[in-house]
Structures are given as structure tokens and as C-alpha cells.
Amino acid sequence: MADFKSVDSYDHVTRDLFENTIVPKGRPAILKGLISQWPCVKAAKESPEALAAYLKPFDSQKPALVSVCKPELNGQFFYNEAKDGFNFRNFNETVTFALDWMLAHQHKSGVEAVYLQALAADIHFPAIGPDMDMPLLDDGVMPRIWLGNTLRTQTHFDLAKNIACHVAGDKVFTLFPPDQLANLYPGPLDRTPAGVPISLVSLENPDFETFPRFRQALEAAMQARLEPGDALYMPELWWHHVQTTGPLNMLVNYWWSENRADLLSPFLPLYMAALSHKRLPPAQRAVWRDMYDYFIYENHGAPLPGIAAGVTMFADELSPAH
């Protein structure tokens, strides 16, 4: 395995430091001890049982999506061998059921990997909000809760900025800058276990014969090992792989974007372009590439002073009320 670059680490992070120093750098950052005073962190430091006992009274008992993969897969939630589906199954159960199952199996060998992803706190833990104070963001940013045992989250990216708060277990993030996209060999846009494309390369056992450019991605990679109470800031579109170890792991994350809420997600036009442009003749694709350069990215500037290219009404003039 490569020797990874380290992620910058900051102590005693205030909102001023976060907004005016950390975020403008456009790079991941470890925020040491940011949530060390949260009750869930204190419970997790006692034992998995103490963390579960803390969480259960908050459980709304509404069904949550539980993902499970077989023991021989070593916690890797991925595609199946035929690449026409996934290697895990999903079912709906309460959070309490999942917690009890993980505790009951924590000392057994050959245990299935269990994963509850991005649980909206206002749905599954509606009264837990006051116990999860996030001083770096506005109150309207909703926390999402991730629970599981030992597992791996395959390399992927988020469309929004992310603060990932580590509560319980051992967690290692391996991060790749956005410019490593081609070297990570992403899979399809649509059929994906993560909602966004994932890298097809195993970080733990990379096949360099099939994926030779992955060596370049490893040279650019960074790694962050979090302790309970730490948080990791990740700018949007940074790729990250997550290794989680322990009988009961917990992470709380906050996604937010500075983009206008009334505009389309940039991912949707990419998906539509893949549907409409990918099978065009090469000559037409080249022309459409020029169209994007001119109208979207304005690589040639405005056609005349004061006149912008593209659909400017929606980008600049249309009010959110419309």
C-alpha cells in the first residue's frame, strides 16, 4: 500500500477559522475534537452497549433501510461479479433492531456486514438534535446518521460540502482530488450502490494490470485517521474511500451547498448529456464539446460586451420566486 500524504489538522476550530481559513483552501481538513463533548461520543467511549443504550430512546421506530453483505465479502459493498447488480441485499427494519443485531453478533466470527446509511435525523431520531450541536454551520443543515459494523465504503464523491463527524469505532478516510477522476476508473452514472459513480478499483488490493492509471491516483491520495470526537471536512467532489472497523460504528455528517437551491443539480445535466451525446457520431460529439465550451464554460468569453452566452435568465435574472 502506498505511503499517503497526511491531511491538514486543526485544533480548537471556530466558525471564523473554518469559514475564512479552512474552506477557502479547497482541501480536506481534520477538525480535531470538534464534537468531543457530544453525549453520543461520550457513550461510545464507554462501550458499544452504552452507545446503543443512548441511541435507542431516540429511535422513532420508523423503518430504515438496512444493507447487508455476506461475511466472505469482507464488508465491501460493491457490484456483483457480473456487474449487473450489487453484492448486498436491502431490507427495512427499525434502527433498534439493527443495533440489537450488531451487539448480539459482536463477538462472533464470520459475521455479515451491516450498514445503515444517511439516516435523516429528523425522521429516525427526531429529538436528538440538541445533542448534536454543530457550531460551524447554520441550524438549518440537517444531520444524517450512519451506523454499521466493520465495513468498507467504496471510493466515491459527494455533490455537496461535507463535515463527517466520527462518533464510534475506527475510521480511516482515503481521499483523492477531483482531478484524479480518470485515474479512479469510475463506474456508470446510473447503476451505482452509492447514488453517485464509484471507483471500480479496490483500494485494498488494486489490480494494476486492469487499472494501470490507479498508480497515479495513489500518488495524489491523502489519508485521514479519525478518533472518536474528530470531524473531517471534505470539499464537494473530492473522492473518498472509508474503512470502518468495530462492532458498532457511528458517524454523523452534514451536507450543505452554497449553490442556489432553485437551480438544477449539476449532476442531472451530466446524466442527461450521457444519454443524449454518448452515441452520437464523433464529428457531432466534437461540435457539442465546442458548444459546451462556449455556452456553459465560456472559454471564449462573451460574444459582445455586456452580453453573456448561455441561458442567462435562469442563471442570473430569474428570481427564486419564479
CATH at 126: 2.60.120.650
3-state secondary structure of 252: strand
CB 155 within 8 A of CB 201: yes
- 11 — pLDDT class (breaks 50, 70, 90): very high
pLDDT of residue 264: 81
The residue among 95 and 318 whose pLDDT is bigger is 95
CB 176 within 8 A of CB 184: yes
Place of cell 494490470: 209
Percent of the chain with pLDDT over 70: 93
Quote the cell numbers at residue 104: 448480539
Closest CA to 55 of 92, 113, 102, 90: 102
The residue among 9 and 277 whose pLDDT is bigger is 9
Stretch 17-42: mean pLDDT:
99
3-state secondary structure of 253: strand
Total domains in the chain come to: 2
- 166 — pLDDT class (breaks 50, 70, 90): very high
Residues 224 and 302 in one domain: no
Determine the Cα–Cα distance for residues 257 and 225; give it in Å rounded to an integer: 25
Name the domain boundary from 211, 232, 256. 256
Residues 288 and 143 in one domain: no
Can you list the alpha helix ranges (DSSP code H) found in the chain? Answer: 15-17, 39-46, 48-55, 95-104, 121-124, 181-184, 214-220, 267-277, 282-291, 312
Place of cell 465479502: 73
Name the domain boundary from 220, 237, 256. 256
pLDDT at residue 312 tops 60: no
Residues 107 and 177 in one domain: yes
The residue among 97 and 273 whose pLDDT is bigger is 97
pLDDT of residue 23: 98
pLDDT of residue 296: 85
Query: Does residue 312 lie in a domain region?
Result: yes
CB 148 within 8 A of CB 245: no
Residue-number span of the structural domain to which 218 is assigned: 5-256
Query: Does residue 175 lie in a domain region?
Result: yes
Determine the Cα–Cα distance for residues 59 and 142; give it in Å rounded to an integer: 16
Closest CA to 117 of 43, 65, 171: 65
Residues 66 and 35 in one domain: yes
First to last CA, the chain: 53
- 3 — pLDDT class (breaks 50, 70, 90): confident
Backbone angles phi, psi at 250, to 5 degrees: -145, 140
Residues 170 and 286 in one domain: no
Query: Does residue 262 lie in a domain region?
Result: no
Residues 238 and 278 in one domain: no
Query: Does residue 224 lie in a domain region?
Result: yes
**What CA dihedral angle connects 238, 244, 249 and 254, to 10 degrees?**
0
Residues 241 and 281 in one domain: no
Place of cell 482541501: 27
Residues 144 and 248 in one domain: yes
Lowest mean pLDDT among 22-36, 127-141, 164-178, 302-316: 302-316
Query: Does residue 322 lie in a domain region?
Result: no
pLDDT at residue 305 tops 70: no
Query: Does residue 215 lie in a domain region?
Result: yes
pLDDT at residue 170 tops 90: yes
Q: Could you give the C-alpha distances from 38 to 42, 172, 192, 202, 289, in angstroms and in order?
A: 7, 21, 33, 34, 50
CB 129 within 8 A of CB 39: no
Residues 13 and 120 in one domain: yes
Residues 214 and 150 in one domain: yes
pLDDT of residue 319: 52
Q: The whole model's pTM is what?
A: 0.92
pLDDT at residue 205 tops 60: yes
Query: Does residue 199 lie in a domain region?
Result: yes
Query: Does residue 102 lie in a domain region?
Result: yes
The residue among 152 and 84 whose pLDDT is bigger is 152
Determine the Cα–Cα distance for residues 26 and 28; give it in Å rounded to an integer: 7
**What CA dihedral angle connects 55, 60, 62 and 67, to 10 degrees?**
-10
Stretch 291-319: mean pLDDT:
68
209-247 residue pLDDT tens: 999 999 999 999 999 999 999 999 999 999 999 999 999
Residues 196 and 296 in one domain: no
107-159 residue pLDDT tens: 999 999 999 999 999 999 999 999 999 999 999 999 999 999 999 999 999 99
278-298 residue pLDDT tens: 899 999 999 999 999 988 888
- Sign, Cα dihedral of 99, 102, 106, 108: positive
Quote the cell numbers at residue 68: 447487508
pLDDT of residue 307: 61
pLDDT of residue 263: 79
Residues 67 and 204 in one domain: yes
Q: Could you give the C-alpha distances from 42 to 38, 52, 134, 144, in angstroms and in order?
A: 7, 12, 16, 19
